[in-house]
Amino acid sequence: MIRVTTAIVLDVVVGNIISPDHDPAATEVMMSNGLTSVFLDVLLLSGSDLARTDAEVATIVSLAERDQSIVGLGIVGFDVSELGWASDRFAEHKEFLLRIVDTSMAGHRWDVLDYEPTPDRLLSCLAEFRELLERFPISACPQGPFTAPWSTVGLRSDRAKCLRHAVYLHKLNDDDARCCQLCNR
């Protein structure tokens, strides 16, 4: 009698990936769906406080639009080139994105969350994300006819924020009560 045993070992169950398509040597940020939600929540808290220009607000809204409760689980990953980069404001935008990550890593406004984030894996993912942003070169900025208008795509004319969480609302629902990623948990 021959006995066959098959074992499958999975170290990481990945729900979403933040990719650096411009840099094959860079490592992707891989997160479960739950960790992705926490990751986006803390970025939204920091980014909503730091955003000043239309392009910065639009970048934060684009993160808010990755609301898994509306668009679905496992499909909100993105490439770092999708974060509103433009060559004419490259240095300022990179600094803005790095400040968001640094502020998030410092625990900025985590106290308004309905849960307590577990820092170990979250901080690791934020650090990996920060590295991708630091490595992003101006040469990888999106080119073409859709780059200039991008700075206001998703930007609501009222720049509405959630009254409870003070994060920018997305436009994925007609009801503002369903347009806050943090409320939708």
Q: What is the per-residue pLDDT across 104-116, written as a single tens digit (0 to 9) for each?
A: 999 999 999 999 9
Coarse DSSP helix, strand, coil percentages of the chain, rounded to the nearest 5 percent: 45, 5, 50
Number of domains in the chain: 1
- By DSSP bridging, strand 29-31 and strand 78-79 are unpaired
* Rounded Cα gap, residues 40 and 149, in angstroms: 24
Residue 18, Cα to own-chain centre: how many angstroms?
Answer: 8
Q: Is residue 147 part of a domain?
A: yes
Phi and psi at 51, nearest 5°, equal: -65, 130
Read off the tokens for 163.
Answer: 């009254």
Q: Is residue 128 part of a domain?
A: yes
Read off the tokens for 78.
Answer: 């993105």
Q: Is residue 80 part of a domain?
A: yes
Q: With 90 as the cut, is the pLDDT of residue 164 above it?
A: yes
Q: Is residue 184 part of a domain?
A: no
Q: Is residue 10 part of a domain?
A: no
Q: What is the per-residue pLDDT across 33-76, written as a single tens digit (0 to 9) for each?
A: 999 999 999 999 999 999 999 889 999 999 999 999 999 999 99
Q: Is residue 183 part of a domain?
A: no
Q: Is residue 161 part of a domain?
A: yes
Q: With 90 as the cut, is the pLDDT of residue 157 above it?
A: no
Q: Which domain holds residue 158?
A: 16-178
Do residues 21 and 29 touch, judged by C-beta distance below 8 A? no
| pLDDT for position 3 | 39
Instruction: Return mean pLDDT, the chain.
Output: 87
From residue 86, give the alpha-carbon distance in Å to each of 46, 49, 76, 147: 22, 22, 22, 7
| pLDDT for position 153 | 59
Contacts 24+ apart (CB under 8 A), 177-180: 178/70, 179/64, 180/64
Q: What is the per-residue pLDDT across 93-148, written as a single tens digit (0 to 9) for each?
A: 999 999 999 999 999 999 999 999 999 999 999 999 999 999 999 999 987 644 54
pLDDT band at 177 (very low <50, low <70, confident <90, very high): confident
pLDDT band at 151 (very low <50, low <70, confident <90, very high): low
Q: Is residue 1 part of a domain?
A: no
pTM of the model: 0.88
